[in-house]
Chain A
Amino acid sequence: MNAIVDLPKDQLSSVGKNIPIYKERGQREVFCGLTGIIWLHRKIQDAFFLVVGSRTCAHLVQSAAGVMIFAEPRFATAIIDDRDLAGIADAHEELDRVVKSLLTRRPDIKMLFLVGSCPSEVIKLDLSRAAQRLSKEFLNHCRILSYSGSGIETTFTQGEDACLASLVNEIPKAVVAQEKNLLIVGCLPDVVEDQFQRLFNELGISRVSFFPPKNSQQKIEIHSNTQYLLAQPFLAETARLIEERGAKRISAPFPFGIEGTSSWLKAAANQWGVSAQHFDEVTQPKIERAQKALARYIPMLESKRISFFPDSQLEIPLARFLSQECGMKVLEIGTPYLHKQHLEAELDLLPENSRIVEGQDVEKQLDRCRADKPDIVVCGLGLANPLEAEGITTKWSIELVFSPVHGYEQAADLAELFARPLNRSMRLAA
């Protein structure tokens, strides 16, 4: 590799098989946590997301979602203006007024999230207190919660972490132990959720529930007999709060690709004492089907060199899938934040020569990318077209958060997401 690795050695640490982890600081080309609203509002169907922020926040959310034409969107912004900046007490009254008019307009809303932003954090507008106050007023009609999706505190998918954490926070800490149950944590597309539900049933693991639930009325069961599996790698705070309530994390790689899914299911199966034979009986046909589907994309991906810009924290599990199961060569894995404990099982499976960079200095990273000349680059939409114009094939990363990619049945779809741009650039080059 002839890359210019201009990364500070003093901030270097390493994991597992001596893979270097560089830390970088500088301009970050990432979304803030508010963006999570785009998928969360679809998942929790009776919830509404009210951002308390500036016109910038409103503009962000609509620029991301506005291409869909909504009859009734389930998100909005309470825009702070200069009158609110004059005095905080006043801002609370204003917020109450906005929430009341919103809930009058949308009586079907059963759960309202007050979403903090950079401006609301900087002026220290206490949204958790506002949520408590308003909850009392709308008791039995609408639950009101708060979390921060601000850019200063959260990066992209961390918005989901903060949102789910606010839901867990509602559950009292001292919970009476009940029958052993399995909690799958992280927003999954409905079709994936149903597939996993069926797999756990077939394995004989009963009492499986998914978090977040599809609607606000579903109860979340967490107690000291709860074991949980993370379906997404970006749920640090949610996991911490779940553990505060006595639940135990099952350590596993994330369910991307065939190997990832098998290991993930196996980790749970072991906890439930499912025999190896039964596990194989259940998974083997699905593995074979997935292998058949995946085989179609392997020739397009094999030996291709890939780099990731930081975006969602999905980068490490995806790099593992692409190298382990698709034969791709991983050059650089950028990640906005690295939770070593949650990614322990993943890091062990990465190839030795990968370069992990936590944080970002986008200009320097672009320099490295241009020097590396990868066959495909996973990056955000702000960089994708400019890199394409430079002749570098890209896969825009947000799609990985918006598509069903977990589990056996989606393993080939996930590979296809990376094969498609390569296929396309070959086709258009002719």
Chain B
Amino acid sequence: MQLTLWTYEGPPHIGAMRIATSMTDLHYVLHSPQGDTYADLLFTMIGRARKRPPVTYTTFQARDLGGDTAQLFQDSVNDAYQRFQPKAMIVGASCTAELIQDDPGGLARALSLPIPVIPLELPSYQKKENWGASETFYHIVRALVPADKTISAQQYQERRAANKQAGQKPSCNILGPTALGFRNRDDVQEIKGLLESMGIEVKVIAPLNASVLDLSQISGADFNISLYPEISQLTCTWLNKTFGQPFTKTIPIGTKATKAFIEEVAQLANLDPEATLASQEERARWYAKSVDSTYLTDKRVFIFGDASHAIAAAKVAAEEIGFKVVGLGTYSREFAREVREAAKLYGVEALITDDYLEVEQKVSELAPDLVLGTQMERHIAKRLGIPCAVISAPVHVQDFPARYSPQMGFEGANVLFDTWIHPLMMGLEEHLIMMFRDDFEFSADATSSHLGHGSPSVKEHAPVPTSAEDAVVAKAVQVNAEVFSGNKPANLWDAAAEKELGKIPFFVRGKARRNTEKFAVEHGISQITIETLYDAKAHYGR
């Protein structure tokens, strides 16, 4: 049993739902208890979908358990087929139905429906959402893309080359975007536009908005764009093995990665990347270069999310914005190796965990200036009073915005720059707070004034606390000092040193405290004085 305050991923059947909901004429019959229909809300509320997800639930209740739940399942499959007339169907069980072992696959097969019915085996007590999505996509593609086993991958490749007419554009598929994927809608638009500007034809985009017929065309493209490896890598690997379609490995998040992506794609398509690269207007790089951004140098950042977004974010943070990556981690165990490799680049050890409490512990130990993470890291950052921006799923409704907001490509890089810098205190304010601590309005313990929240000193004049939530925040801010100290005995500090520490602005105080304590321990100092504080400062630099 695992104690979970927040979970990074849903169960695997949610992944399957994301695939089914992405597509236009595929139906999913899910054997599940009453109540599991909550998952519809993810799509209709968080994703603001206009249609109900194409999912039929058996919604069995306790009284059904004594009876024939297998019959209930078969009736549901029949009814769903009659009513929705899908072109293909997937069937499976949720966590509770897995326990009662009705074998949805076998039961559905026995009905002999005139459409492909694809059974899903998604072990709910071992695997999670992304795995479920990846597995579902793979099984759908395997079932729906006609493959002639007598023809080798190389023969397929040769055949495609031979059939190519003179002047015909190179072609690819974009694989991986799904319903409820973090910014997938706009990433697809950005990347499709980029590919088309290079003179490449995009044949199939799947599973997002793809039909069963679309999927059957996949094998016709020259290569694949594996846009979200968490969802698409398994499928792309199979397509490569079966049809000889190579696939991209670069995730085009950030200016540099987008350029590398263009080069990789150009190579796969036998094109010259120079024209595309030269024509791009790179605003994000210039913004980062402009002097206003100098104060961003070496801001300490903690990064957590799915593997692809975390690795990409670390690269952008370190190489394109000039932050210092002090922590990098992922909940995607399937890609732990890649994240470990990436973490080595920044001299940190990767945190591979799906335990929210472990992430919280790590963030409080590191006391970074900025957290780049998921919706869950926003809880942590709120508790610790650290600025935070969202870079990866899981996300809530505000991260399915109406405006165009890709993460990928050159526009994506612009979006990243704005999003990540926004929560940080702006340069002038940061300087002034360092110089003058006792301002009644711009307090060092306050959040940044450009975020529009009142500082604590302003709040004191308010007649009543505005909400219970505020009280919680206030309390969390109070306990911050203790959290940052990592539960070290407080008597290490003498009173004058403690007071001096208080003069250091809030957003760097945690680091100063940690450094000083570390310095004291290393130098066998039992009592930290003002002198120790400055000794440590001289030792470590700012």
Residues of A within 8 A of B (CB): 27-35, 52, 54-56, 58-60, 62-64, 66-73, 76-82, 84-85, 91, 94-95, 97-98, 101-102, 118-119, 121-123, 150-153, 155, 363, 380-386, 389
Interface residues on B, range: 35 or more
Q: Cβ of B472: which chain A residues have Cβ within 8 Å of it?
A: 70-72
Point out the residue from B44, B60, B476 that lies within 8 Å of A381, measured CB to CB.
Answer: B44
Q: Complex Cα distance A84/B125, Å?
A: 9
Question: Are B44 and A30 in contact (CB-based, < 8 A)?
Answer: no
Shortest Cβ gap from B453 to chain A (Å): 13
Residue on B nearest A123 in the bound complex, by CB: B99
Point out the residue from B52, B83, B382, B397 that lies within 8 Å of A69, measured CB to CB.
Answer: B382
B10 within 8 A of A: yes
Q: Cβ of A64: which chain B residues have Cβ within 8 Å of it?
A: 38, 41
Q: Cβ of B51: which chain A residues have Cβ within 8 Å of it?
A: 386, 389
Q: Complex Cα distance A2/B469, Å?
A: 50
B65 within 8 A of A: yes
Question: Are B96 and A152 in contact (CB-based, < 8 A)?
Answer: yes
Point out the residue from A63, A94, A118 that lies within 8 Å of B96, measured CB to CB.
Answer: A118
Interface string of B3-42 (1 = CB under 8 A from A): 1111101110110000000000000000001111110111
Question: Are A58 and B44 in contact (CB-based, < 8 A)?
Answer: no
Q: Cβ of A79: which chain B residues have Cβ within 8 Å of it?
A: 1-2, 4, 7
B161 within 8 A of A: no
Residue on B nearest A155 in the bound complex, by CB: B34
Point out the residue from A28, A55, A71, A385 that lies within 8 Å of B48, measured CB to CB.
Answer: A385
B434 within 8 A of A: no
Question: Are A27 and B96 in contact (CB-based, < 8 A)?
Answer: no
Shortest Cβ gap from B301 to chain A (Å): 20
Report which residue of A34, A118, A152 has the largest number of chain B beta carbons within 10 angstroms of its beta carbon.
A118
Question: Are A29 and B125 in contact (CB-based, < 8 A)?
Answer: no
Question: Are A31 and B33 in contact (CB-based, < 8 A)?
Answer: no
B271 within 8 A of A: no
Q: Cβ of B3: which chain A residues have Cβ within 8 Å of it?
A: 76-78, 98, 101-102
Q: Cβ of A33: which chain B residues have Cβ within 8 Å of it?
A: 35
Residue on A nearest B383 in the bound complex, by CB: A71
Question: Are B50 and A385 in contact (CB-based, < 8 A)?
Answer: yes
Shortest Cβ gap from B82 to chain A (Å): 10
Shortest Cβ gap from B358 to chain A (Å): 13
B128 within 8 A of A: yes
Q: Which of B448-498 contact A (CB under 8 A)?
A: 469, 472-473, 475-476
Interface string of B358-399 (1 = CB under 8 A from A): 000000000000000001001100110000000000101110
**A63-B38, A153-B61 given as contacts; is B50 within 8 A of A82 (CB)?**
no
Q: Complex Cα distance A12/B33, Å?
A: 26
Interface string of B196-225 (1 = CB under 8 A from A): 000000000000000000000000000000
Q: Complex Cα distance A95/B1, Å?
A: 7
Q: Complex Cα distance A73/B380, Å?
A: 11
Report which residue of B42, B45, B94, B123 has the largest number of chain A beta carbons within 10 angstroms of its beta carbon.
B45
Q: Complex Cα distance A76/B9, Å?
A: 15
Residue on B nearest A152 in the bound complex, by CB: B62
Q: Cβ of A385: which chain B residues have Cβ within 8 Å of it?
A: 44-45, 48-50
Q: Cβ of A150: which chain B residues have Cβ within 8 Å of it?
A: 33, 35, 62
A-B residue pairs, 5 tightest by C-beta:
A151-B35, A32-B35, A382-B40, A389-B50, A54-B95
Question: Are B95 and A56 in contact (CB-based, < 8 A)?
Answer: yes
Q: Complex Cα distance A82/B126, Å?
A: 6
Q: Cβ of A386: which chain B residues have Cβ within 8 Å of it?
A: 44, 49-52
B525 within 8 A of A: no
Residue on A nearest B14 in the bound complex, by CB: A59
**A27-B59, A54-B11 given as contacts; is B35 within 8 A of A60 (CB)?**
yes
Q: Complex Cα distance A62/B5, Å?
A: 9
B124 within 8 A of A: yes
Report which residue of A76, A79, A85, A155 has the largest number of chain B beta carbons within 10 angstroms of its beta carbon.
A79
